[in-house]
Amino acid sequence: MSQFGAPSESHTMELADGSTIPLLGFGVWQIPNGPECVQAVQAALDVGYRHIDTAQAYGNEESVGEALRRSGVPREEVFITTKFLPSQEDAAREAAHSLGRLGLDYVDLYLVHWPQGGATRAWPGMEEAHRLGYARSIGVSNFDVTELETLMGVAALRPSVDQVQLSPFHYRRTLVNAAREQDLVVEAYSPLGTGRHLSDETVRRIASQIGRTPAQVLLRWCIQHGFVVLPKSTHQDRIQENARIFDFNLSPADMSELDALDQTGGTHRAQERKWW
């Protein structure tokens, strides 16, 4: 498929390990396993997404695999991420279980979902998952600056990615800069604030000035900052709308105005409140 402004092969980034990751991914957090998830992922693949982001904790890996098979899109054309649930013991063993649920023989990216038990606790299992061929790339999620530094101090195979909650309202500049200094690609989850940021006045005004939607403005902000972005929707029209973010630019003035919405004070933290 090729639609004006939809993702294409050029809308990718290189990870430090040499792999290529599409800048736009489809996030499936909070979509229950079953027909709704299968349909949403199929809709995303139909409109050109080539990157799906799931996790053991989401409970919907089976539906992601099912949608991929039904879509007819060749496996190697889709970048699939899943995440290790860190309350479990062994990341390599859990990767094998995830692959069973997905019906795949590898994932493109495998992340430690959060640093439960400390920044390095899960890492030997993550490296083993890579060594066994279960995961082409490995990385982390919800790691703050100190946790990244601690992990970098011991990792034989360094993480390629830190996936964190990012939006103009959660810019986390110190964390973003530290991750980049370590050659990590930064991924933005909840880029729409799980929907909350769509009604913000500044976002709406910029959107109407440039003839775009609030969702497109928020997603484009991520792209122009060089973040991989992972919006979620279960509606086909929104899934399509969220993919049309490669055919316009936010001006430097718009970007500055959005940057100024940050409510974290440019934090080094990955989370305002830890749930683990």
Catalytic positions, written as ranges: 58
236 binds ligand A2P (CB under 6 A): no
Choice between 102 and 218, CB closer to ligand A2P: 218
190 binds ligand A2P (CB under 6 A): yes
159 binds ligand A2P (CB under 6 A): no
The interface with ligand A2P within residues 6-65 (CB under 6 A) comprises 27
Choice between 151 and 215, CB closer to ligand A2P: 215
Q: DSSP string spanning 64-128?
A: HHHHHHHH---GGGSEEEEEE-TTSS-HHHHHHHHHHHHT-S-EEEEEESS-TT-TTTTHHHHHH
Residue 178 CA to residue 115 CA, distance in Å, equals: 17
238 binds ligand A2P (CB under 6 A): yes
**Piece of the chain touching ligand A2P by CB under 6 A; list 86-94, 100-108, 193-201, 204-212:** 193-201
Cβ-contact 231, 193 below 8 angstroms: no
Number of other CB atoms surrounding residue 72 within 10 Å: 9
Please pick, from the candidates 166, 191, 269, 270, the single residue that binds ligand A2P as defined by CB under 6 A: 191
What's the chain's Rg over C-alpha atoms? 18
Q: Which residue has the tokens 């290189």?
A: 14
Binding letters toward ligand A2P, positions 214-233, x by CB under 6 A: -x---------------xxx
Rounded to 10 deg, the angle between the 35-46 and 61-71 helix axes is 40
Torsion of CA 54, 115, 21, 177, to 10 degrees: 140
Rounded to 10 deg, the angle between the 214-224 and 252-259 helix axes is 100
Cβ-contact 168, 261 below 8 angstroms: yes
66 binds ligand A2P (CB under 6 A): no
Please pick, from the candidates 143, 242, 245, 269, the single residue that binds ligand A2P as defined by CB under 6 A: 242
Choice between 182 and 264, CB closer to ligand A2P: 264
5 binds ligand A2P (CB under 6 A): no
142 binds ligand A2P (CB under 6 A): no
For residue 232, the minimal CB distance to ligand A2P (Å) is: 4
Which residues contribute to the site for ligand A2P (CB under 6 A)?
27, 190-195, 198, 213, 215, 231-235, 238, 241-242
